[in-house]
Structure 1
Amino acid sequence: MKKPIYILILFAIAGVFAACKKQQLMTYNAPDNIYFFYKRNNVRLDTMDFSFAYSPLSVTDSIVKIPFTITGVPVNNDREFVVTVDPSSTAKPGVNFVLPDKFVLSAGKLVDSFSIKLIRTKDLQTNTLSLRLNLNANNNFQIALKDIASAPGVNALSFKINISDVLNQGSFWSGVYSTYFGTFSVKKLRLLNQVAGMPLDYVINGIYDLNLNARCAFWAISMSRYLKDQQNAGTPVYDEDGTLMVMAPSYQ
C-alpha cells in the first residue's frame, strides 16, 4: 500500500523541479526605459551648474558629459534615443551650445553619457543662461520613469544646465575658505590665483582635497606676505569695497 504514496511523492518532486526549470528559462520582457543619471558627491540631481569663470580667458568652449542609464539588459548593438531642447531654455543652439548629431547608447552598456559643447559668449559675464534637455520616447526606449524612489523630487526625464561666466564664492567659502582668506571678493580670488597660485576652481572643487588645510594655509600665508609687501612699498591693495585687502585674522 505504501508504493503508490512513494510514486505520488516522486511525481510531486519532479513537478517542483520542472517548475523551477521553467522559471530559470524565463527572460526579461518589459519595455526598456531611459532616464538621466547625473550625480554630484554621490547625490542624484537634475541640474548642473557650469561656469567658464574658473577657466583661463583663452578657453572659448568646453565639453560637458551628461550621464544617463536604462532599465533592462544590455544588447550587442548601438541604440539611438531622442533628446529635445525645452522651450524654457534661454541658451541658444549654435550660439551658446552645440548638441551631438545623434544620441546613442553604446552596445553592451546600461549606463552611458553624451557630450554637449558649451560656448563661451560675452553675455555669460552678466547673465546666467539655461539649457533644459528632455528625453523622449522612441522605438528603443520608453520614458515611464520620471520619478525615482531613491531620489525624491528629482526629475529623471529632464535635465537643466545653468551656464555662466561669473566667479562666485561657491557653497563652501563661508564655512571653510573664509577661515583662511577672510571675506570673499572676485578681486581677492583672482589675486589668490595670480599671486599665490591657487586654482580658480579650488573654491568649488577643493573641498574634497585631503590636503586642503595645508594648501589653503600656504596660499593664505603667501598672499598675506604679498599684501604686506605692497603696503610697505606704498602701493596698498584695496578690495572691491574700498577697504584694505586682508586674509583671515589667523593669517594676517
Structure 2
Amino acid sequence: MKYTTFLIMSFGMSMFFSCKKVSVMTYDQPANIYFDLTAADRDSMVYTFAYDMTKAVDTVFLPVKLMGYRDEKSRSFQAYIEKDSSTAQAEIHYDKLKPDYPLMEGAGQTFLPIIIHNVKDLETHAVSLIIKLQESPDFGIENKDLIRARIILSAQLEQPQWWSMWLDNYSRVKHQLFLLVTEQRTLSMQSLDAPKNLYFANLLLMMLNDPFKWVQDHPEKDYKLESNDGGQNYVFYHVDNPNRTILLRKNAGSGKYFFIDETGKEVR
C-alpha cells in the first residue's frame, strides 16, 4: 500500500515539474491570405467571350481566403499583376488593379475582382493574366504556392464535331453568326434530329442571304449595320459592344452582300 502511494505521489510531482517547463505559445504573426482554388484552376483558369459578342466587359471573381484569426475590424489585402509573365495588356484586356481590397470585419473570405474586356484580338489568339497576392500591413502570404492565379482570356471559337454534319464551309465568323441567329451552342449528331437541326441551319442561311432584313426583323437583338463609305462596306455589331464587329462587304460582280470571315473570304 505504501508502495502504491509512493508511485502516485511520484507521478504527480513529475507532472507538476513537467508543467512548469511548458511555455505558452502565442500567435504573434499576421494573418495569412491565399487563393482558394483547385490546383488546375490556379494553373490555368479559362474564360472565353466566344459565345457572347454582346458582352463588352465582365468580371472574374477570384476567391481569397483567410488563414488565421478573424478580426472585428475591417482589414485590407493587396495583389498585383505579374506583367513579365503575362501576355494580356493593361487597359486593353483588363483593368489595372486597385492599391488594396477590403476584407470586412469578422469575415474569413472574400473575392478579388478582375475586370476583363472583350476585344477583337481575342478572336484570333488567347492571352494570359497572372495575378499574385502580396504581403500587406494586415496580411502575410505564408504559403507562396497558393498566392498565384492564372487566367486565360479568349474569344476564339473552334470547329465542333457536329458542324460538318449539318453545315459546311466552317469559319469562326460563320460560327459566331450561327450562335447569334439560332441561340444554339451545339447540335446533336443523331439522324432522328435532322428536321430540327436543318431548321437551325436554314435560319443561318436566311440571315446570310439578307442580313439587312434580319436586323430589321429582330430589333430586340440590338444589332446594327452601319456604313461609312456609301454602302460598299458595312460593320455589323451589337450596341453594347461596338468594338467587336464583323465586316459585311458588297460583291462587285453579283451586287450581293457577304460577311467576311477571319481569312478575308466571303461567308457562304
Task: Identify the TM-score tier after normalising by the shorter chain.
Answer: 0.5 to 0.7
Does structure 1 residue 160 correspond to structure 2 residue 150?
yes
Per the TM alignment, residue 86 of structure 1 is displaced from its structure 2 partner at its CA by: 1.0
The residue that corresponds to 1:152 in the other structure is none
| Separation in structure 2 between the aligned mates of residue 229 and residue 121 of structure 1, nearest angstrom | 27
| Number of equivalences | 203
The residue that corresponds to 1:151 in the other structure is none
Change (3 A) 1:181 1:139: farther
Match of 2:103 among 102, 105, 110: 105
Does structure 1 residue 61 correspond to structure 2 residue 57?
yes
Does structure 1 residue 222 correspond to structure 2 residue 202?
no
| Unaligned runs of at least 5 residues, structure 1 | 148-155, 204-212, 246-252
The residue that corresponds to 1:86 in the other structure is 82
Q: Which amino acid aligns with 2:107?
A: K
The residue that corresponds to 1:191 in the other structure is 178
Per the TM alignment, residue 29 of structure 1 is displaced from its structure 2 partner at its CA by: 4.5
Change (3 A) 1:161 1:227: closer
Per the TM alignment, residue 145 of structure 1 is displaced from its structure 2 partner at its CA by: 1.0
Q: For 1:12-161, what aligned pairs fall within 5 Å after superposition?
A: 12=11, 28-39=27-38, 45-57=42-54, 59-88=55-84, 89-98=86-95, 99-100=97-98, 102-147=100-145, 156-161=146-151
The residue that corresponds to 1:206 in the other structure is none
CA contact (8 A) 1:30 1:72 kept: no
Q: Tell me the TM-score normalised to structure 2 length.
A: 0.55
CA contact (8 A) 1:85 1:132 kept: yes
| Separation in structure 2 between the aligned mates of residue 229 and residue 77 of structure 1, nearest angstrom | 58
CA contact (8 A) 1:32 1:142 kept: yes
Q: Which amino acid aligns with 1:160?
A: R
Secondary structure of the equivalent of 1:45? helix
| Separation in structure 2 between the aligned mates of residue 45 and residue 181 of structure 1, nearest angstrom | 38
Per the TM alignment, residue 36 of structure 1 is displaced from its structure 2 partner at its CA by: 1.6
Task: Pick the structure with greater CA Rg.
Answer: 2
| Separation in structure 2 between the aligned mates of residue 61 and residue 221 of structure 1, nearest angstrom | 37
CA contact (8 A) 2:167 2:201 kept: no
Per the TM alignment, residue 105 of structure 1 is displaced from its structure 2 partner at its CA by: 2.4
| Separation in structure 2 between the aligned mates of residue 45 and residue 220 of structure 1, nearest angstrom | 42
Secondary structure of the equivalent of 2:115? strand
Secondary structure of the equivalent of 1:33? strand
